Structure 1
């Protein structure tokens, strides 16, 4: 298993892996439009943080990736990226994305009426860095995820980062166990994620943090 940083020549294959690596996960596809989902959760890292984008390569093929940012406050927020994607890809005129966003707004309205908090980002100087990690189904359990995480944590140590956070799903027990093994601990309660369902069930975002 080779772990290396992203290069421009990886762009097309990484876009393909972005779709393939989500197979079987509760959030395999959020609104069923891969191009716009990549515009929120992958492309900005290729464009703005290539030195913090690590790839796992096996047999000459990309099988996993980790996107990261040492300073979340300097990176475009998810709301900003999502708004851009909605406009660029005309998502409100596409049936499945429109259904997803309508359900999200209804979820938010119901939660507000019941004074129940919903998922949100973390803005805390104790853990300014953040990451996302994805590994293709065939590479799970091969050490790809460990290698990617080790490379990322080495980068944070080199940069002198005070800490890192990530957000996963409470219902993804495998991911939670992996992050605990990597030194992350749960921070705050798991909060309902508007719009997303898995087999009809609501999902909850769990923030996890790690200090050096």
Structure 2
């Protein structure tokens, strides 16, 4: 039996675990980092604190199996992170400390996060991150999660939502295109930004 339920900040550990186990284009990234929880610190955990009402957990008989985290206003969220989220992480992870290159890349993003340009947030002010463990894939849960979020965003009058996806993750790109997302920009690291109009 699989169900969706609203997320709370108490789901942080499970979200960190799922983020790590899907952090390599959907595959397990835990062996690639000394501190794999940095993945969630960048792309999942702050959403649980900033606006848990837009976050959803997938639960099956074995426990949490996926999540969607989101914000309705990316620009405001990035400002919130600068005030409330990044300072403590920067203190815990000094930029000059020795670490593996992959970890260093994540720490560098914590110290100098990329701001989403107005050319994206103007049309697609919301953004989301979604991850499902393999056992929860292929059951329509990704669509259900995004449909649920889209309804919540429409209720708030949000005109569009965007997400980032690796250009090497062709199954994910195809999935998002099937849901109506379209490419809108390419990130500096080569990642693809896809947007969905909600109005």
TM-score by length of 2: 0.79
Conserved in 2, the CA contact under 8 Å of 1:56 and 1:62?
yes
1:95 match: secondary structure: coil
**What are the within-5 Å matches in structure 2 for residues 1-212 of structure 1?**
1-22=2-23, 25=26, 28=29, 32-59=34-61, 61-76=63-78, 80=82, 84-90=88-94, 92-97=96-101, 100-101=104-105, 121-123=116-118, 124-188=121-185, 190-193=186-189, 204-212=190-198
Distance 1:99 1:178, change over 3 A: closer
CA 187–150 in structure 1, closer or farther in 2 if over 3 Å, else same: same
CA contact (8 A) 2:44 2:129 kept: no
Deviates more, 1:82-91 or 1:136-145: 82-91
Larger relative contact order (Cα-Cα within 8 Å, sequence gap ≥ 6)? 1
**What's the CA shift for 1:70?**
0.4
Bigger-Rg structure (1/2): 1
Change (3 A) 1:85 1:31: farther
Aligned residue-pair number: 187
Separation in 2, partners of 1:26, 1:78: 30
Equivalent residues of 1:40, 1:78 under 8 A apart: no
Distance in 2 between residues matched to 1:61 and 1:27, nearest whole Å: 18
CA RMSD of aligned residues (A): 3.1
